[in-house]
Structure 1
Amino acid sequence: MESEGKRAYRMGARAAALEATRARVVQAAAEVLASRWHDEVTLQHIADAAGVSVQTIVNHFGGKDGLFDAVADAVAAQTEINRQAPVGDVPAIVAALFADYERQGDANVLWIAQMDRVPAAGRAAAHARGLHRAWLERVFADRLPAEGPAREHALNLHYAATDIYLWKLWRRDLGMSREDAEQAMRDLVTAIDPRRDRRA
């Protein structure tokens, strides 16, 4: 008869193996979806990349939309880790943001382009917008006005000055160097500091 200890160990090992498989599938899906349109990607593509069967993916995620949601959650969690910066330190804030955009920006832009016709992409984009806004409220807490229209206006300006499409414009469309693009964003963020008006 199997002891309680052995049973617990076996169950723990199985749970760990299932979690490792799930993480491997999510990572493979993130890599595939980073450069291909949702409609072009099949579960077989992802299964091949992850070294698992299609049925394994279905068992874990239910299908492609469920897997897309899991990828979006994983990317969001990693973004939270990557964007650590001291409150009010504009160079550090912009550097953290650019590090994230340089790593994941092209994939994010691709996902955003599909949000009107791919429900999972729409959910991911909406979630990302909420996270970005919350991040802006944290890192610029020293300069934002109190609650009210002035705060909303300041947040909207900071959102525009740090939006991923501005990164895309500078780095991809205009071919600016990362150094020049970061400097441009620092200049914008500094110029819209609401405290400048209060000090005038």
Structure 2
Amino acid sequence: MTQLFFEYGAMGSGKTIEILKVAHNYESQGKKVLLMTPDVDDRAGVGIIASRIGLKREAIAIHKKDNLFDEVAKTTDTISAVLIDEAQFLSAEQVDQLAEVVDDLNIPVMTFGLRQDAFNHLFPGSKRLFEIADKLEEMKTICTFCGKKAITQLRIVNGKPQYAGDQVFIGGDETYVPVCRKHWHHPDKERLAELFPQKDQPAD
């Protein structure tokens, strides 16, 4: 059945590995997929889907004002699926356009991304996906501090947890750690110091 999927999880839950695996599985059967990712995530370069373990693929970069239905509709190849990484950065309108791809073009769309930001508020794209996706699936990982299920990520800047700031702050393992709710509020300071050692400041 053709559906709009959203697979979500905290940072470090393997979302990017999963999208690359899904693409490989389709292509190993001789089927074509359309890989896309928002241009705001430029950690590995614009239009690059890259995992923490070094796997990466080129993808179509999604710009803020792109109409995703039109982007898919103009593709001349026969597409078996549309796969979108970092879907939290999509606008609500773009998510609606993906739903049109499913309903009007009969092409399944699989999106992967974060549920909420580092301050535990839904991203616009994630919020809309929760509202209209046909299927939701959580990808699990564990808390950096206790090993329980992580439900969010903690932003670290200069070795200190951040509880306010811009919603979009691009970073990877050097900036975010997956955490449970308890340790989002009360991170282990000793463990943080091990993970994010600070260089000694020069004397005046």
* Same topology, TM > 0.5: no
Select the structure with the greater relative contact order (CA < 8 A; seq sep ≥ 6).
2
TM value normalised by structure 1: 0.32
TM value normalised by structure 2: 0.31
Question: If each structure's strand is expressed as a fraction of its own residues, which one has the higher value?
Answer: 2
